[in-house]
Amino acid sequence: MVFMDLEWLFPIPISVSFASTILFTLFALIGGWLIYLYGPYWRVRKVPGPPSLPLVGHLHLLAKHGPDVFSVLAKQYGPIYRFVYMTFFSFFLRIN
């Protein structure tokens, strides 16, 4: 059996296949987490809207313009646009 020098990570000697299984599981969990976070964004990326900040979305625009932010965004991006509140996507349709 081949042993790796991973004593800094595991106090007991482990085999290469066990270490590769742990690394594969770790990468799969991180990849799944990224897909979970960015999956909704990739599906709606073609809907026009202002660029959003990570984790807060468009809250900075809401703080800047107040409740008139939706009419400001409709004038700039057209009658259909997206608004991100934290990590939730909302779509607005403005009808005159």
**pLDDT computed for residue 20 by the predictor:** 84
Tokens 């005159």 identify what position?
96
Q: What's the rounded Cα separation, in Å, for the pair 88 and 55?
A: 10
* CA 12 to chain CA centroid, nearest Å: 37
Q: What is the pLDDT along the chain (96 residues), one digit of tens a residue?
A: 455 566 666 666 666 687 788 889 999 999 888 888 777 666 667 778 888 787 788 888 888 888 888 888 888 888 888 887 776 777 777 776
* DSSP SS3 for 83: strand
Q: Let me know: does 81 contact 73? Beta carbons within 8 Å.
A: yes
pTM equals 0.48
Query: What DSSP element (H or E) covers 25?
Result: helix 16-43
User: What residue segments make up the domains of the chain, in order of their start?
Assistant: 1-43, 49-96
**pLDDT computed for residue 65 by the predictor:** 84
**pLDDT computed for residue 4 by the predictor:** 57
Per-residue burial over 4-30, b if 16 or more Cβ lie within 10 Å, else e, is eeeeeeeeeebeeeeeeeeeeeeeeee
